[in-house]
Amino acid sequence: MSNHRSGKPENPGNKQDEDAVAFLQGLFELARNGGTGPLNVMLDAGVPVDIRTSAGDSLLMLACRNGHKDTAEMLLERGADPNACNHQSETPLMVATIAEHTELVDCLLEAGAEQ
C-alpha cells in the first residue's frame, strides 16, 4: 500500500502506533470520567492497573483528581498503588486533598496512602 501523497509505502507500524495511542487515550478518559465498568473490563483483559500517562499519572490519580470514588475504590481493590507519584511528585492523596474530595481522601487513607 502506498501513501497517496508521496507515493511511498506506508509504514504499517504507524497505524498500530496510532491505534495504541487512541486506546490509551480512551483508557485514561475512562478514569477521568469515572468509567468504572468499562475500566474493570479492560483490567480483566490484562491492562495493568498502574499504567500511566506521559505525565506519570496513574488511573487512580486521574480518578482521584476528578472525584470518582467508585472508580478509585475499584482500582484500589484491583491493586492500584495509593502512593504512586507522578512526574511532579504528586500522589493520589495529594490531588484528592487539593480538589477537596474528602470521601476520596478517607478512602485512600484506609487503603494505606501515606500522608
DSSP tag of 52? B
Question: Amino acid identity, residue 103?
Answer: E
- Any idea which fold 14-110 has? 1.25.40
The number of helices, as runs of H, and strands, as runs of E, in the chain is 6, 0
- In this model, does residue 79 exceed pLDDT 70? yes
109/112 Cα distance (integer angstroms) = 5
From the list 68, 12, 14, 5, the residue with the least C-alpha distance to 39 is 68
What is this structure's pTM?
Answer: 0.85
Q: How confident is the model at residue 93 (pLDDT cuts 50, 70, 90)?
A: very high
* pLDDT per residue as tens digits for the range 22-58: 999 999 999 999 999 999 999 999 999 999 999 999 9
DSSP tag of 89? S
DSSP tag of 15? H
Record the cell numbers describing residue 32, joined without a space: 477521568
